[in-house]
Amino acid sequence: MPPQWRAFSFGLVTASASFGQFVFSPVSGALIDNFGWQTACLVFAVMVTLIVPLGWFIASKPLAETNKAAGDETLGVMATLREAFSHRSYVLVVVGFFTCGFQLQFITVHFQRYIVESGLTPQVGYWAFAFVGLFNVFGSIFSGWMCSWAPRRYVLSFIYFARAMLTLVFIMLPPSPFNAYMFGALSGLLWLSTLPPTSAMVNQMFGAGNFGMLYGFAFCSHQIGGFLGVLLGGVLREQFGSYDASWYLSIFFGVASALITLPIVEKPAPKRVAAAPA
């Protein structure tokens, strides 16, 4: 894609994935209720297997000359890694992405139990999580559009801070189906909307030629956060008898990431600027 369309395109791809979350959250709940979790897992395994052949139709073509931006050239692996992890702004992006993984995976795994322990029915949890997927379609597209004209660090900082404030309000309100659905819908607007600004900044710093590897390292940080979100969600629940500590930890990480995102410099890495053609 041309450089000016990359963030928006990333948002569109993210939105399409989120629509699947909207569809399959209630489907999985119905399968579990009627046939058990083993059958539900088998059904999803079959569906995923049917997707595999589609990969053969995905072609990875070289960038057209008209779509290239300065810094899109691929450098050596070690040289790129040394450059990336000595670049302060890239490190801040990677560290901030940890929070995204923590928050998302904590909610994905533990939200349903939190809903039931709050005295609501499992169906409320299914549909609230389905709303996350539905509204993320709009949130991802809007985030990608915002990144085409607004500073990406401000977009990303706002998302992290808004997540923290939304979580605080949700846990302070009395449990009800309406509050759960609103939390699902508003969380959906912020769910994967971090991906367009994060990917756009990595691309801007190091170019499309190195994007796959360096975004992969950023996403590794995201998944480490996800691992801890799932693990600590369970450990703290067993330790204190509720999910309150995990919710407050999520709020803390959200505010911290909102702050560390602000100093990011949205420019190509210094060495890459020097190497770019005049």
Domain boundaries in the chain?
3-53+63-275
**Residue 93 predicted with pLDDT over 90:** yes
DSSP annotation of 87 reads -
The per-residue DSSP string of 165-186 comes to: HHHHHHHHSPP-HHHHHHHHHH
- pLDDT score of 30: 84
Model confidence band, residue 223 (pLDDT cutoffs 50, 70, 90)? very high
Cβ atoms of 105 and 159 closer than 8 Å: no
Average pLDDT over residues 141-156: 87
For the entire predicted model, the pTM comes to 0.79
In the predicted model, is pLDDT for residue 166 greater than 80? yes
Cβ 247 vs Cβ 107: under 8 Å = no
* Average pLDDT across the chain, whole number: 85
Average pLDDT value for residue range 216-229: 94
Q: How is residue 55 annotated by DSSP?
A: G
What tens digit of pLDDT does each residue of 175-217 get? 999 999 999 999 999 988 898 899 889 988 888 778 888 999 9
3-class secondary structure, 276: coil
Q: Is the pLDDT of residue 277 over 50?
A: no
Homologous superfamily of the 3-53+63-275 domain (CATH): MFS general substrate transporter like domains (1.20.1250.20)
